[in-house]
Structure 1
Amino acid sequence: MYRTMIIRTAQDSDLDDVLSVEHAAFGSMVEPNLVRDLLEDASAKPTLSLLAFQEGQAVGHILFTRAYFALESPLSISLLAPLAVLPQAQRQGIGTRLVEHGLQILSKSGTDLVFVLGHPEYYPRHGFRPAGVLGFDAPYPIPEKNANAWMVLLIREGITGAFGGKVICANKLKKPKYWLE
């Protein structure tokens, strides 16, 4: 049975729904606390926070935050973290729709690249490729066994020239524990 899904920008009044989805999806308070911190972190702005609803219930959330290169670059980049879907709503395409919707919005807003530290089996479905081998270093060293979890997606056509280097993330993400995967 197909259930209608609505995806919209999360508002301040949606914070409880956002945190509830994050907690249910990850089973701990680490991600909800991180999301709350990122939403309040000026260095993460502009953020793109999207909520997915089915039958009026929040079932998924995705957050994109500002990032930049350590060396000056004209490119606009974002970091996807985290993506959360309620356990009972997983494997229904909600995460895919959230990722695709977010990437469309970012592309239209002029974002060039999106980075993610995530499951190497999932994100390549959306066009993400290992970032380290392309010359993009994560904010913190990633264990070799998880190197393919650091990925990038070029979302704006026509970018030319050599670019790469170390990605700098929002202040609240500047903790090695978030970069272990």
Structure 2
Amino acid sequence: MDIRQTTAADFIKVKAVHQEAFGPEEGPVIVSLLDELLPDPTAAPILSLLAEDGPRVLGHVLFTNVVIQGAEPVAARILAPLAVLPSAQKQGVGRQLVEAGLKQLRDAGGELVFVLGDPAYYTRFGFQPAGARGLKAPHPIPVEHAEAWMVQELCSGVLGRVMGEVEASQVLNRREYWIG
């Protein structure tokens, strides 16, 4: 399996992976998010990675820019969305995409990465509850799902020094993407 940065020519493949991975109900919502998010200037800089096995696309992950209001400027991104074809799930594709993205962001001077997702999955990569670290989500997260709002420190010493409300790109900051 190869992991590489996407190109404009990959966009149809990327959307197809998300459509299939998220299914008939959520798939169109995620594809619509991608249609708007990828060209959103407030999402830049982005990191978009594709996992392939020969000509077959297996998965995709997107990291976009976020700003922490009321804090000193930091290089921060949010991981959203991540998709792996159902036929390729539980084979390490998602893990390799996330790890490759975190490494590239770290190597590029990234300091923090956020995610709203399954704690059982994302804690494997070193993510921890963000709210407990003084980093609020763009929209309130119900108490029963508070642990799903997570952060990972890519540069030692940033957590604890930086606190505030995270503001995602204009597209991803919409309330409908934060209410499950």
Determine if the TM-score, normalized by the shorter chain, exceeds 0.5. Answer: yes
The residue type paired with residue 149 of structure 1 is: A
> Structure 2: which 5+ runs fail to align?
none
Deviation at 1:158, TM superposition (A): 4.5
1:135–1:10 distance in 2 versus 1, CA, 3 Å: same
**1:99-131 Cα deviation digits (max 9, x unpaired):** 000000000111100000011110000000011
Correspondence for 1:47: 46
The residue type paired with residue 13 of structure 1 is: A
Deviation at 1:156, TM superposition (A): 1.5
Q: Map of 1:27-46 to 2, 5 A cutoff?
A: 27=23, 28-46=27-45
User: Partners of 2:118 and 2:160 in 1: how far apart?
Assistant: 29
Deviation at 1:161, TM superposition (A): 6.0
Number of aligned residues: 177
RMSD value over aligned CA atoms?
A: 1.2
% identical equivalent positions = 45
Correspondence for 2:19: 23
Deviation at 1:72, TM superposition (A): 4.0
Alignment check: 8 A CA contact 2:114 2:150 kept? yes
Correspondence for 1:74: 73
User: Partners of 1:116 and 1:158 in 2: how far apart?
Assistant: 19
Correspondence for 1:6: 2
- The two structures have a TM-score, normalised by structure 1, of 0.94
Deviation at 1:73, TM superposition (A): 1.4
The residue type paired with residue 8 of structure 2 is: D
User: Partners of 2:175 and 2:157 in 1: how far apart?
Assistant: 34
Deviation at 1:75, TM superposition (A): 1.3
User: Partners of 1:167 and 1:84 in 2: how far apart?
Assistant: 23
The residue type paired with residue 152 of structure 2 is: L
User: Partners of 1:152 and 1:115 in 2: how far apart?
Assistant: 4
- The two structures have a TM-score, normalised by structure 2, of 0.95
